[in-house]
Amino acid sequence: MSHVGIVIKEEGVWRVVHSISGRLDSVDGIRIEDLEKFCGDAHEGDYHFVSADFEIDRVHAASRARYYLEKETPFDHSFDLDDDEAMYCSELIRTIYLQSGAEDIFSYAELSGIRLLDLASFFDPRYWHLLD
């Protein structure tokens, strides 16, 4: 897995809020796309939906996703988990979840002296389950 986003429902349509570097796309940072388009950009069938098995205020989580979207938060090219002025994709999800009442259940790795969020965090069966 190389990318994550948070699924929210807007006006009856499922959409994904996520963050991408401007080096890969025309917009640098957080954006929103219809779920169908988001999944269509992945290799066919090469995506998974997971849901939290821990307490979280889902309404607040969706509100925080919209907040960072409206703020036009840029992509975090320095990968700094301690600053929410810019965020990479998994950092966005972690920040939203922590701000919505979740405990820090995430796993971390260090690369070249930088503490990064380990994407394997989203597949830890103690905290997440795969949706069909």
Number of domains within the chain: 1
Q: How far is CA 50 from CA 45, 59, 107, 111, 132, in A?
A: 14, 17, 16, 26, 9
3-state secondary structure of 90: helix
Residue 96 and residue 80 in contact, taking contact as beta carbons nearer than 8 Å:
no
Structure-block tokens of residue 48: 């998974």
Structural domain that includes position 107:
6-130
What does each of the 132 residues of the chain score in pLDDT, given as a tens digit?
689 999 999 999 999 999 999 888 888 999 999 999 988 877 776 888 999 999 999 999 999 999 999 999 999 999 999 999 999 999 999 999 999 999 999 999 999 999 999 999 999 999 999 997
Question: Does 39 fall in a domain?
Answer: yes
Task: Return d(Cα 132, Cα 114) in angstroms, integer.
Answer: 35
pTM of the predicted structure, to 2 decimals: 0.91
CATH code of the domain in which 41 resides: 3.90.1720.10
